[in-house]
Each structure stands twice: as C-alpha cells, then as structure tokens.
Amino acid sequence: MIPTCTQCGKEKPESRVDPYCAECRRARNIKWRTENPEKHLEMSRRHKRDAQTRAKLEFVQAYGGKCTCCGESEIHFLTIEHLTPEGLALHKWPNGKRMDTLTTIRRLKKAGWPDYVTVLCMNCNYAKGMFGFCPHDDLGTFPIRFPGSFPERRYPGTMEG
C-alpha cells in the first residue's frame, strides 16, 4: 500500500516515515519558522556552527592535523594560511570581500585540497602576517620589534626601529 499524507491525503511513495508529503512538509516548516522566529534563528545558528566545526576538522586533517610551523595541534588555535596571493584571491568574493571560513573550506575541498593553502596556528599566522616571518623561522631573518621578549634567544644584528 502506498502511504498517504495525513494532511492532504495525497499518495506519497517517497517516504513512510514522514506523515506528510513533501509539499505539506515544506508548508509546515515555513509555518513553524514564522511562528517560532527565535527558535528558528537559534537552530540555524547551531546548524551553522556544527557545519563549521565539521568543515574545520576535515580541513585540518586534510592538511596534516597541525600547525606547519610549530606543530600546534589544538584545533581551536588553527587557522587557514594562504601561501600565495593567487590562492588568497581565490577566496575573496568578486567585490574584494573576504570569504567566510565555511565557504572557503568547501571550495578547498572541491578543489582537492590544493597546496596554495596550509594550516598555521594563530600565533604563527599572526607573526607571518605581521612581520613576514615567524619567530620559529630562521631567527637571523626575523625583524626585532620587541627587544628582550625572547631572553633565551639571541638575535643577531642590531635593534632598529
């Protein structure tokens, strides 16, 4: 026997589990959303958060699971680093706005995890963005901005600027 929609009585061969046909289901969903705007907002926020978490996990795992500079593996510290200007350009919208993380990761996945991107922790990403180098890199090339902040390390050269 073909199941029928409990709302409109039409036959709905697509699902036995859902008591409503696709059309009535859609209508009920829309009705619920308009009647429960706060709950709907909260649900879609949670949904987005979950999707972001899953995408980020997948991204980090695809690129080795840790910061490629210092080895930090705490996922909350890890970020996407674009290694080339071309790579960065691919993750900006035509109007120059930066793409959100979820969309960026989805695009990276679709492109087969290209190598113009890597994983960096916040610290290494910040340092590289700020100075062009990370203190973890060759210290001879790292510009000294905060003299004395790394007492255990000796920076060659003089302190300028």
Q: Which residues bind Zn ion (CB under 5 A)?
A: 5, 7-8, 21, 24, 67, 69-70, 72, 121, 124, 134, 136
Element (H, E) at 135: none
Nearer to Zn ion, 58 or 72 (CB): 72
CA distance 159 to 58: 42
Short-list 41, 53, 42, CA closest to 101: 53
Angle, helices 37-62 vs 101-110, to 10°: value is 50
Nearer to Zn ion, 105 or 124 (CB): 124
CB of 51 to Zn ion, least distance (A): 26
Coil, helix or strand at residue 153: coil
CA distance 64 to 119: 8
Coil, helix or strand at residue 122: helix
Nearer to Zn ion, 12 or 91 (CB): 12
CA distance 146 to 131: 12
Element (H, E) at 117: strand 117-121
CB of 59 to Zn ion, least distance (A): 16
Nearer to Zn ion, 7 or 101 (CB): 7
Nearer to Zn ion, 8 or 51 (CB): 8
